[in-house]
Amino acid sequence: MELRQLRYFVTVVEEAGFTRAAERLHLAQPGLSAQIRQLERELGQPLLDRSGRSVRPTEVGEAVLPYARAALAAVEGVRQTVQEYTGLLRGRVAVGLVPGTLAHAFDVAGQLAGFHEAHPGVEVTLTEDTSERMLAALRRGELDLAVIGVAGTAPPAGIGLHVVIDEPLVAAAVPGHPLFVEYDGADAVPPAALRGHRLISLPRGTGMRGVLERLCAEAGFQPQIAVEAATPDALRRLAARGLGVAVLPGLDPRPGLITLPLADPRARGRVALAWRSEGPMLPAARELLGRLRKGMGGGG
């Protein structure tokens, strides 16, 4: 088994076909196919299902895939470590962000700009996604770092967290909304009071949505999500149009909205910088992690 064969296998899976994989690897397709078949013969099992319109890993291939990626990452880590000790920090860092991160006051964009100035040889790629999918990508090694929403108080298994935002969740709606008429003069709204109301929330798979769904489930009902939006600011805008009750972090409300905190100490909107806490981290990713932890403040 050769390292290049593992790289070929991973690339075919990522491109879902031999033609695109061969173009990406700058190889002739017959040669690529021959190398994969040689790997399969050596392992004694087919790794790829070629029967459909796109190439997909077999059950064995799915099981082998994380080990192949880990082997490639380990070799890259050796190269990057050697470069670090010779003063040539290079490589690639993949960073995931929840929508709205770049507009936040902790200035991720500024931190990335400073990192690029200090280490121009490092390529930084950014993607936006839900927290749930980014956690899975961290575990698979597809992301090195991510800014995610956190639903619970304990870090997910195998993940390190540095909490940068921890705010109470509030219910927000226009004046005269039945929820606030019912709780006029109250200091907070119990999660059970959200039953039957049209709610405006972040999408499923986000940390804040996870908190909302858990609180409602404990109160014995499923939340009636009428509208979803990607950022807390969008939730406030929609609530200000009378589309329902927005559940969002306790930031300054939009004009024309009434807000009351949810009466549960676990009703928190938490955002954290996340990374794999198990296994080695490439030097470039470790350097960026240290810069972001210092620059973003927070705690945890």
Given this chain, do its domains 3-82 and 166-269 carry the same CATH topology? no
* Fold of the domain built from segment(s) 166-269: D-Maltodextrin-Binding Protein; domain 2 (3.40.190)
Q: Which residues of 121-130 are buried (b: 16+ CB within 10 A; e: fewer)?
A: ebebeeeebb
Q: What is the C-alpha separation between 298 and 300, in angstroms, rounded? A: 7
Q: What length is written for the chain?
A: 300
Q: Which pLDDT score, from 0 to 100, does residue 276 have?
A: 92
Q: Which pLDDT score, from 0 to 100, does residue 283 have?
A: 83
Q: Which residue has the tokens 């319109």?
A: 53
Could you tell me what percent of the chain has a pLDDT over 90?
Answer: 58
Distance of CA 98 to the CA centre of its chain: 6
Is residue 256 within 8 Å of residue 173, measured between CB atoms? no
* Predicted confidence (pLDDT) at residue 167 exceeds the cutoff of 80: yes
Task: Kindly indicate the confidence band of residue 84, based on its pLDDT and cuts at 50, 70 and 90.
Answer: low
Q: Which pLDDT score, from 0 to 100, does residue 121 have?
A: 85
Could you tell me what percent of the chain has a pLDDT over 70?
Answer: 95
Q: What is the C-alpha separation between 82 and 23, in angstroms, rounded? A: 30
What does the pLDDT average to over 125-133?
Answer: 91
CATH architecture assigned to 3-82: Orthogonal Bundle (1.10)
Average pLDDT, whole number, for the chain? 89
* Predicted confidence (pLDDT) at residue 293 exceeds the cutoff of 80: yes
Give the CATH number of domain 85-164+271-296: 3.40.190.10
Q: Which pLDDT score, from 0 to 100, does residue 46 have?
A: 94
What does the pLDDT average to over 185-204?
Answer: 94
Q: Which pLDDT score, from 0 to 100, does residue 253 have?
A: 63
Q: Which pLDDT score, from 0 to 100, does residue 92 have?
A: 85
* Predicted confidence (pLDDT) at residue 300 exceeds the cutoff of 60: no
What does the pLDDT average to over 202-216?
Answer: 91
Q: Which pLDDT score, from 0 to 100, does residue 251 have?
A: 60
Q: Where are the domains of the chain?
A: 3-82, 85-164+271-296, 166-269
* Predicted confidence (pLDDT) at residue 272 exceeds the cutoff of 70: yes
pTM value surpassing 0.85? no
